[in-house]
Structure 1
Amino acid sequence: MDLRPATDQRDAGEHGDNTADGVVPAGRADRARAGDGGAPRWRERVTGGRSDFLRAAVTPRLIGLFVLLLAAAIVCVRLGAWQLDRAAIRGAAEAEQGHAERLAADPVPLEDVLRAQTSFTAEELGRSIEVTGTFVPDQQVLVPDRAVEGQDADLVVTALRLTQGPDAGAMLPVLRGWVPAEAITTDGGTAAPADAATAAILEVPVGERTVTGHLGGSEAAVAADYPDGMVGAISSAELANLWGGPSFSGYLVEFTQAPDGTRTASDGAGLPHAPPPGMAVDTGLNIQNLAYAVEWVVFGGFALFLWWRMVRDEVTYRREEAELA
């Protein structure tokens, strides 16, 4: 027999102390009713599968965070692209400055920069060098279809046989200068000066001489029929087959340097010098700006990763709460 007062018995019934008759405690009943201020509705939908991640991701709070972090990621990617552009611009500017410095530098011996039968690299392009040898009178060709100073021109390339240094005896093609295209005639299938003045400036210098100039990289040979005395490109390999080797993998763009160090526009015979070789097309990227670009992209990826971590943590929390419910 229950000896408690009737009031206590009623209180016990009201507060759910007696569960023998299947009466659910009031607190649990409230939590079990979704939307009545008890347990959230999502507890009923926790399955332990992938759908839990989708339900968690589409909650208003995580959607708002996704929009915010996505905007941050887009800003980071845009900043990375801007830094990449800056890397290209600064890389090109540095390459241009370096090329100009190589062109303006005092000549150094050829063997200090390039040796016969070795590969030509971007580091040698435009280097100012000096070399001693003799021009071979019957080893001179014209390269047509070029433009110099806004007019059609034929380049004048002559073989220089080195007489000093470790590569004595090797052949180095020398771009001595250029003449207007109309100054050359190809009547009879042979390239020849159109007048006596052109013939005079095309005469090959005789005797040993020290030649100064800029190094240029060998051009690709052109497979086409040209008149005798003409070739389609300044190709070291083609000229070596024509004149004999050993040879160099580049050629020399001659310039005339006065005793005071100034450089003249033509040689002593009046042959105009060709422009120095241009810098390489691939100028590279500025390393510092490239690193900044990579950092911004990483920051953008981290923003999205942070949102995914929030979704994963939310799913973990929900599953733990569902097990305790």
Structure 2
Amino acid sequence: MTDPEAPTTLWRAARRPRMLLLLLLLLGAAAVCGRLGAWQLDRAEVRGVRAEERHVAELVAADPVPLDDVLAPQTAFHGDMVGRKVAVTGAYDADGQLLVPGRAHDGVTGYLVLTPLRVTGGAAGDGAVLPVVRGWVASPDDADEPPAGDVDLVGYLQVSESAGSGVRDGRTDAISSPELLNVWGGPIWTGYLVVAASDPAQAPSVVLLDPPRSPGAGLNIQNLAYAAQWWIFGGFAVLLWWRLVRDEAAGRPPEAAATPADPPATPTPTEPAPH
């Protein structure tokens, strides 16, 4: 029976030839896993973009439904309502119009034009306030006065944002229904409308926006999960080598083979008794 290797330091164990060779093999496996993960991430982006383009096309082509059929004032806004195409009639309150700075459109940072709409003709929301994003402008000077009188709007729903720093000097950094309630009064919707069409029309200086997207849109979840799995496998390969180095440094256990048993004693022949 041979004695087990004596314990040593992790550094010495890691520099042993078999450990270095094993490290190279496992690093190669980890690199392959990392590359496959990056490929799956790229597929997640490509498939996600295609799916999002189809979804946006469906939203644009959809027929609008009355706002009251989807959401009533002071009621919870659910995630599946994002992007729903609705129709609503009301009158703008021009005195309550606000600008939302720091919002980008086609790579240019500008302002959203946010105007309260007093809804009319709706059984659930007659007289309630609907926050309306009428569009985007590059400069505050491009923000026009909203159309006077009753307007018929078609647009897309979006959930209210988290509270910001409040409303001051005709500006707000967040489209937050609770904050707007303190300024415009209520009852108020828990989401806002992104205008797609207006009758009467508004000034062309206010650029209409695309349908809003849900958080996380643009990535295919299945491919994203595959990418994470490959990266986890690569991490396991490195951790496996470290575990083997620790075992190597601690000394190998004795061989499992048992010591052969002593052979049985050969019986001594018995001499025949003399007659």
Q: Which of residues 157, 161, 167 in structure 1 aligns to 2:119?
A: 161
Counterpart among 205, 214, 233 of residue 149 in structure 2: 205
Structure 1: how far apart are the matches of 2:177 and 2:64?
22
Q: Secondary structure in 1 aligned to 2:255?
A: helix
Contact 1:111 1:165 in 2 (8 A): yes
State the percentage of identical aligned residues.
Answer: 40
Aligned-residue offset at 1:247: 0.8
Which residue in 1 is equivalent to 2:157? Answer: 215
- 1:56, 1:175 → 2: CA distance? 66
Name the CA distance, whole Å, in 2 between partners of 1:151 and 1:294. Answer: 34
TM-score, normalised with respect to structure 2 = 0.65
Q: Return the match for 1:239 from 159, 162, 180.
A: 180
Q: Residue by residue, what CA displacement relative to the aligned partner does 1:248-275 show, whole Å, maximum 9, x if unpaired?
A: 022223333xxxxxxxxx6435533642
The correspondence for 1:114, drawn from 71, 86, 90, is 71
Q: Distance in 1 between matches of 2:257 and 2:104?
A: 80
TM-score (norm 1): 0.57
1 CA distance for matches of 2:25 and 2:136? Answer: 64
Check 1:274–1:322 CA distance in 2 against 1; reply closer, same or farther (3 A cut): same
Structure 1 residue 289, shift from structure 2 partner = 1.3
Report the alpha carbon displacement of residue 108 of structure 1 after superposing the two structures with TM.
1.8
CA contact (8 A) 2:47 2:219 kept: yes
* Distance in structure 1 (CA, Å) of the matches to 2:236 and 2:105: 54
Q: Residue 129 of structure 2 corresponds to which residue in structure 1?
A: 171
Q: Which amino acid counterpart does residue 250 of structure 1 have in structure 2?
A: G
CA contact (8 A) 2:166 2:172 kept: yes
Superposition pairs of residues 1-325 of structure 1, within 5 angstroms: 43-44=2-3, 46=4, 50-51=7-8, 60-61=17-18, 63-132=20-89, 134-135=90-91, 140-143=96-99, 155=113, 157-176=115-134, 181-182=140-141, 202-206=146-150, 210-219=152-161, 220-223=163-166, 225-226=168-169, 230-232=170-172, 234-256=175-197, 267-268=199-200, 270-272=202-204, 274-276=207-209, 278-280=212-214, 282-283=216-217, 285-300=219-234, 303=237, 315-316=252-253, 318-320=254-256
Tell me if the contact between 2:130 and 2:188 (Cα under 8 Å) persists in the aligned partners: yes
State the alpha-carbon separation in 1 of the partners of residues 235 and 196 from structure 2.
54
When residues 65 and 248 of structure 1 are mapped into structure 2, their CA distance, relative to the original with a 3 A threshold, is same
The structure-2 alpha-carbon separation of the partners of 1:165 and 1:78, relative to structure 1 and needing over 3 Å to count, comes to same
Residues 323, 306 of structure 1: alpha-carbon distance in 2 compared, 3 angstrom cutoff: farther
Q: Is the 8 A contact 2:72 2:189 kept in 1?
A: yes
Q: Within 2, Cα distance between the matches of 1:243 and 1:118?
A: 18
Quote the Cα distance in structure 1 between the aligned partners of 2:236 and 2:94. Answer: 69
Conserved 8 A contact 1:160-1:174: no
In 2, distance between residues paired with 1:108 and 1:131?
9
Q: CA RMSD in A?
A: 4.5
- For 2:255, give the aligned amino acid: R
Letter in 2 for 1:300: G
Q: Which amino acid aligns with 1:213?
A: G
Q: Measure, in 2, the Cα distance between the counterparts of 1:121 and 1:291.
A: 25
Query: For 1:88 and 1:105, how far apart are their aligned partners in 2?
Result: 25
The CA deviation at 1:50 is: 4.5
Whole-angstrom CA distance in 2 between matches of 1:222 and 1:311:
54
Post-superposition offset of 1:242: 2.7
Residue 210 of structure 1: CA displacement? 4.4
State the shift of 1:293 in Å.
1.9
> How many angstroms apart in 1 are the aligned matches of 2:12 and 2:258?
14
Q: Which runs of 5+ in 2 are unaligned?
A: 261-275
- Provide the secondary structure at the position in 1 that maps to 2:172: coil
**Residue equivalent to 2:267:** none
Count residues with an aligned counterpart.
251
Alpha-carbon spacing, 1:102–1:57, altered in 2? closer, same or farther (3 Å): same
Deviates more, 1:52-61 or 1:139-148: 52-61
Q: Higher relative contact order by CA 8 Å / sep ≥ 6: 1 or 2?
A: 2
Measured in 1, the distance between the counterparts of 2:208 and 2:125 equals: 27
**1:171, 1:245 within 8 Å by CA — same for their partners in 2?**
yes
Give 1:88 deviation, angstroms: 4.3
Could you say what secondary structure the match of 2:80 adopts? coil
Moved more, 270-279 or 138-147: 138-147
Report SS of the residue matched to 1:123.
helix
Whole-angstrom CA distance in 2 between matches of 1:127 and 1:166: 18
* Structure 1 residues not aligned, in runs of 5+: 1-38, 185-197, 257-265
Partner of 2:157, secondary structure, is strand
